[in-house]
């Protein structure tokens, strides 16, 4: 099983390390031929607008869209979640996502860099208790279509983010931060920064199951 990590911008190295610890082969992906060599793909955290621009410049936008449409398992964390959304709120006018998950995501929803925080998230399908999730300029999911499974919601958020978003105090609590739609997985947080490999293990198993189905 070869898991690619999109290496245009963002925390690529941490995801590659997590994949290696799970006895899968991790490879950075910057070119189309590298994309062609992987069975699944991780889109890391970073700056989604920059990632979008570089995907176009490197000729990866349409190839990744085609692989997604063809059933390639993909996991997006933070900026990666934004890149997998069908609709982006508070993004740049020229920002283009890969799409794939029928959801509306609000960029930088939890606030600025200074509002980075850790929050407890119970994730459906992942045992071991709540995940202590790291949120850095994180998005949240505003809404999903019926085809999308909500896997997790954050229990709380940092002071101040609700008022900036024009919501009542405490408006961050309960926001959707983990979803799955078929072969696509997305989280608003960064599991690669915690040392907790459960989210990555969940995705690697998704990819392995998809591989078995293809072989069958």
- Model confidence at 48, in pLDDT bands (50, 70, 90)? very high
Q: Kindly report the number of other CB atoms within 10 A of residue 130's CB atom.
A: 13
Quick check: 12 pLDDT over 80?
Answer: yes
Name the band, by pLDDT with cuts 50, 70 and 90, for residue 139: very high
> For 82-106, what is each residue's pLDDT tens digit?
999 999 998 888 889 999 999 999 9
Q: What is the pLDDT of residue 11?
A: 87
The two tokens of residue 172 are 């961050």
Q: How far is residue 25's CA from residue 196's CA, in Å, rounded to a whole number?
A: 18
Residues 6 or more apart from 194 whose CB is under 8 A from it? 131, 132, 133, 134
pLDDT for position 168: 44
Mean pLDDT of the chain: 89
Model confidence band, residue 32 (pLDDT cutoffs 50, 70, 90): very high
Task: Report how far residue 165's alpha carbon sits from residue 110's, in angstroms, rounded to the nearest whole number.
Answer: 8
Catalytic residues: 78, 190, 192
Top-ranked range on mean pLDDT: pick from 59-73, 131-145, 147-161, 172-186: 59-73
How much of the chain, in percent, has pLDDT values that exceed 70?
89
| The model's pTM | 0.92
Identify the band that residue 65 occupies on the pLDDT scale cut at 50, 70 and 90.
Answer: very high
CA distance 202 to 184: 12
Residues composing the chain: 216
Q: Is the pLDDT of residue 128 over 90?
A: yes
């Amino acid at each position: 099983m070869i898991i690619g990590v999109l290496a245009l911008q963002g925390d690529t190295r941490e995801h590659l390390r997590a994949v290696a610890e799970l006895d899968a082969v991790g490879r950075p992906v910057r070119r189309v031929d590298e994309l062609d060599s992987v069975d699944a793909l991780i889109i890391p955290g970073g700056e989604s607008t920059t990632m979008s621009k570089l995907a176009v410049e490197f000729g990866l936008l349409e190839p990744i869209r085609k692989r997604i449409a063809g059933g390639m398992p993909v996991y997006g964390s933070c900026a990666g979640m934004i890149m997998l959304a069908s609709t982006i709120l508070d993004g740049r006018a020229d920002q283009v996502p890969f799409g794939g998950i029928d959801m509306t995501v609000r960029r930088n929803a939890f606030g600025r860099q200074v509002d980075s925080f850790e929050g407890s998230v119970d994730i459906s399908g992942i045992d071991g208790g709540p995940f202590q999730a790291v949120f850095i300029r994180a998005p949240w999911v505003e809404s999903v279509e019926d085809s999308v499974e909500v896997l997790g919601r954050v229990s709380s958020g940092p002071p101040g983010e609700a008022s900036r978003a024009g919501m009542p105090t405490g408006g961050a609590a309960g926001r959707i931060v983990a979803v799955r739609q078929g072969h696509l997985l997305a989280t608003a947080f960064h599991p690669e920064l915690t040392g907790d490999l459960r989210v990555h293990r969940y995705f690697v198993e998704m990819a392995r199951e998809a591989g078995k189905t293809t072989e069958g």
